[in-house]
Amino acid sequence: MISRTMSKHALYADITVFPNRTVPENDLMTDAFNGILFDSGMPVLTLGAGDDPLPEPKRILMAWNGEPEAAKAFHQSIPLLDGAEEVRVVVVDPDGNPSGANPGDDMAFFLARHSMKITVDQLASAGRDVADVLLQHAVDKDADLIVMGAYGHSRLQEWLLGGTTREMLAKSNLPVLMAH
Protein backbone atom coordinates (compact mmCIF):
# COMPACT_ATOMS: atom_id res chain seq x y z
CA MET A 1 0.00 0.00 0.00
CA ILE A 2 1.60 3.26 -1.17
CA SER A 3 0.09 5.39 1.62
CA ARG A 4 1.77 3.32 4.33
CA THR A 5 5.12 3.20 2.51
CA MET A 6 5.14 6.95 1.86
CA SER A 7 4.12 7.79 5.43
CA LYS A 8 7.05 5.74 6.74
CA HIS A 9 9.50 7.50 4.41
CA ALA A 10 8.09 10.91 5.31
CA LEU A 11 9.15 10.40 8.91
CA TYR A 12 12.75 10.94 7.78
CA ALA A 13 12.15 14.12 5.81
CA ASP A 14 11.40 17.72 6.68
CA ILE A 15 8.75 17.94 3.99
CA THR A 16 7.43 15.87 1.08
CA VAL A 17 7.06 17.61 -2.30
CA PHE A 18 4.51 16.76 -4.99
CA PRO A 19 4.27 18.12 -8.54
CA ASN A 20 1.51 20.63 -9.24
CA ARG A 21 -2.02 19.23 -9.50
CA THR A 22 -0.93 15.58 -9.50
CA VAL A 23 -2.70 14.79 -6.23
CA PRO A 24 -6.31 15.16 -7.39
CA GLU A 25 -5.58 13.79 -10.87
CA ASN A 26 -3.67 10.62 -10.00
CA ASP A 27 -4.94 7.95 -7.61
CA LEU A 28 -1.42 6.80 -6.69
CA MET A 29 -0.35 10.35 -5.84
CA THR A 30 -3.56 10.90 -3.88
CA ASP A 31 -2.91 7.76 -1.80
CA ALA A 32 0.68 8.86 -1.15
CA PHE A 33 -0.42 12.41 -0.23
CA ASN A 34 -3.12 11.17 2.16
CA GLY A 35 -0.80 8.63 3.75
CA ILE A 36 1.79 11.27 4.48
CA LEU A 37 -0.72 13.77 5.85
CA PHE A 38 -2.76 11.40 7.98
CA ASP A 39 -0.16 8.86 9.11
CA SER A 40 3.18 10.68 9.38
CA GLY A 41 2.11 14.06 10.70
CA MET A 42 4.63 15.70 8.39
CA PRO A 43 3.84 18.60 6.04
CA VAL A 44 3.34 18.27 2.30
CA LEU A 45 4.20 20.86 -0.32
CA THR A 46 2.59 20.86 -3.74
CA LEU A 47 4.56 22.86 -6.27
CA GLY A 48 3.12 25.68 -8.35
CA ALA A 49 2.51 25.77 -12.07
CA GLY A 50 5.50 24.60 -14.02
CA ASP A 51 6.68 22.60 -11.02
CA ASP A 52 9.53 25.02 -10.45
CA PRO A 53 11.43 24.46 -7.23
CA LEU A 54 10.17 26.69 -4.45
CA PRO A 55 12.42 29.73 -4.19
CA GLU A 56 12.70 31.35 -0.79
CA PRO A 57 9.15 32.72 -0.46
CA LYS A 58 8.92 36.47 0.10
CA ARG A 59 5.11 36.91 0.28
CA ILE A 60 3.25 34.20 2.16
CA LEU A 61 -0.49 33.83 2.54
CA MET A 62 -1.55 31.73 5.52
CA ALA A 63 -5.16 30.50 5.58
CA TRP A 64 -6.45 30.57 9.16
CA ASN A 65 -9.72 29.01 10.28
CA GLY A 66 -8.95 28.44 13.95
CA GLU A 67 -8.68 24.66 13.53
CA PRO A 68 -5.85 22.36 14.70
CA GLU A 69 -4.90 21.44 11.11
CA ALA A 70 -4.27 25.10 10.25
CA ALA A 71 -2.32 25.64 13.48
CA LYS A 72 -0.15 22.63 12.69
CA ALA A 73 0.54 23.95 9.18
CA PHE A 74 1.47 27.35 10.62
CA HIS A 75 3.83 25.80 13.18
CA GLN A 76 5.46 23.54 10.58
CA SER A 77 5.96 26.43 8.15
CA ILE A 78 7.92 28.65 10.54
CA PRO A 79 11.33 27.70 9.03
CA LEU A 80 10.04 28.88 5.63
CA LEU A 81 8.89 32.20 7.06
CA ASP A 82 12.30 33.41 8.20
CA GLY A 83 13.17 35.16 4.93
CA ALA A 84 9.65 36.39 4.19
CA GLU A 85 9.08 40.07 3.58
CA GLU A 86 5.34 39.83 4.04
CA VAL A 87 3.16 37.29 5.87
CA ARG A 88 -0.61 37.55 5.66
CA VAL A 89 -2.92 35.62 7.96
CA VAL A 90 -6.14 35.30 5.96
CA VAL A 91 -9.50 34.54 7.54
CA VAL A 92 -12.45 33.87 5.23
CA ASP A 93 -15.91 34.57 6.69
CA PRO A 94 -14.68 35.15 10.26
CA ASP A 95 -17.08 34.03 13.00
CA GLY A 96 -15.60 35.83 15.96
CA ASN A 97 -13.03 34.74 18.48
CA PRO A 98 -13.54 33.34 22.00
CA SER A 99 -10.73 35.56 23.31
CA GLY A 100 -12.58 38.67 22.15
CA ALA A 101 -9.90 39.59 19.62
CA ASN A 102 -10.56 39.78 15.91
CA PRO A 103 -10.30 36.37 14.23
CA GLY A 104 -6.72 35.86 13.13
CA ASP A 105 -5.23 38.28 15.67
CA ASP A 106 -4.20 35.55 18.12
CA MET A 107 -2.36 33.64 15.40
CA ALA A 108 -0.80 36.86 14.13
CA PHE A 109 0.45 37.57 17.65
CA PHE A 110 1.96 34.07 17.82
CA LEU A 111 3.75 34.57 14.49
CA ALA A 112 4.92 38.05 15.48
CA ARG A 113 6.77 36.46 18.43
CA HIS A 114 8.95 34.86 15.74
CA SER A 115 10.04 38.32 14.55
CA MET A 116 7.74 38.43 11.55
CA LYS A 117 5.72 41.34 10.29
CA ILE A 118 2.14 40.07 10.06
CA THR A 119 -0.98 41.46 8.41
CA VAL A 120 -4.41 39.98 9.11
CA ASP A 121 -6.86 40.01 6.19
CA GLN A 122 -10.51 39.22 6.90
CA LEU A 123 -12.39 38.36 3.72
CA ALA A 124 -16.02 37.67 2.94
CA SER A 125 -16.64 34.77 0.60
CA ALA A 126 -19.90 36.25 -0.73
CA GLY A 127 -21.06 32.72 -1.46
CA ARG A 128 -17.90 31.67 -3.34
CA ASP A 129 -15.85 28.61 -2.42
CA VAL A 130 -13.21 29.36 0.20
CA ALA A 131 -10.54 27.99 -2.14
CA ASP A 132 -11.53 30.49 -4.83
CA VAL A 133 -11.41 33.36 -2.32
CA LEU A 134 -7.97 32.30 -1.08
CA LEU A 135 -6.57 31.80 -4.57
CA GLN A 136 -7.83 35.18 -5.79
CA HIS A 137 -6.43 36.91 -2.70
CA ALA A 138 -3.09 35.18 -3.25
CA VAL A 139 -3.01 36.53 -6.81
CA ASP A 140 -4.09 40.01 -5.66
CA LYS A 141 -1.30 40.09 -3.06
CA ASP A 142 1.28 38.49 -5.36
CA ALA A 143 1.85 35.62 -2.91
CA ASP A 144 4.67 33.12 -3.44
CA LEU A 145 3.29 30.44 -1.13
CA ILE A 146 0.02 29.46 0.54
CA VAL A 147 0.08 27.70 3.92
CA MET A 148 -3.03 25.91 5.19
CA GLY A 149 -4.40 23.01 7.13
CA ALA A 150 -5.66 20.03 5.15
CA TYR A 151 -8.85 18.03 5.55
CA GLY A 152 -10.63 19.79 8.37
CA HIS A 153 -13.64 17.56 7.70
CA SER A 154 -13.80 13.78 7.63
CA ARG A 155 -12.49 12.06 4.51
CA LEU A 156 -16.01 10.87 3.70
CA GLN A 157 -17.44 14.38 3.95
CA GLU A 158 -14.60 15.75 1.81
CA TRP A 159 -15.17 12.99 -0.76
CA LEU A 160 -18.94 13.48 -0.87
CA LEU A 161 -19.12 17.26 -0.72
CA GLY A 162 -15.71 18.32 -1.89
CA GLY A 163 -13.72 20.66 0.27
CA THR A 164 -11.19 23.43 0.38
CA THR A 165 -8.27 20.99 0.44
CA ARG A 166 -9.36 19.23 -2.73
CA GLU A 167 -10.20 22.49 -4.47
CA MET A 168 -6.80 23.99 -3.63
CA LEU A 169 -5.01 20.90 -4.89
CA ALA A 170 -7.01 21.00 -8.13
CA LYS A 171 -6.87 24.74 -8.82
CA SER A 172 -3.75 26.32 -7.34
CA ASN A 173 -1.00 27.59 -9.59
CA LEU A 174 1.01 28.51 -6.50
CA PRO A 175 2.93 26.25 -4.15
CA VAL A 176 0.76 25.15 -1.21
CA LEU A 177 2.09 23.80 2.07
CA MET A 178 -0.45 21.64 3.91
CA ALA A 179 -0.50 19.78 7.21
CA HIS A 180 -3.07 17.72 9.09
Q: Is the dihedral of CA 75, 77, 82, 88 positive or negative?
A: negative
Residue pLDDT, tens place only, 54-66: 778 999 999 999 9
Residue scoring higher pLDDT (52 or 21): 21
Confidence (pLDDT) at 161: 44
Confidence (pLDDT) at 155: 54
Confidence (pLDDT) at 157: 47
The Cβ of residue 7 has, within 10 Å, a number of other Cβ atoms equal to 21
The answer to whether the CB of 167 falls within 8 A of the CB of 82 is: no
For residues 151 and 121, what is the distance between their CA atoms, to the nearest angstrom?
Answer: 22
Q: How confident is the model at residue 49 (pLDDT cuts 50, 70, 90)?
A: confident
pLDDT averaged over every residue in the chain: 89
Domain boundaries, the chain: 47-179
pTM here is: 0.92
Q: Does domain 47-179 have CATH number 3.40.50.300?
A: no
Q: In the predicted model, what is the mean pLDDT of residues 94-105?
A: 73
Q: In the predicted model, what is the mean pLDDT of residues 11-20?
A: 94
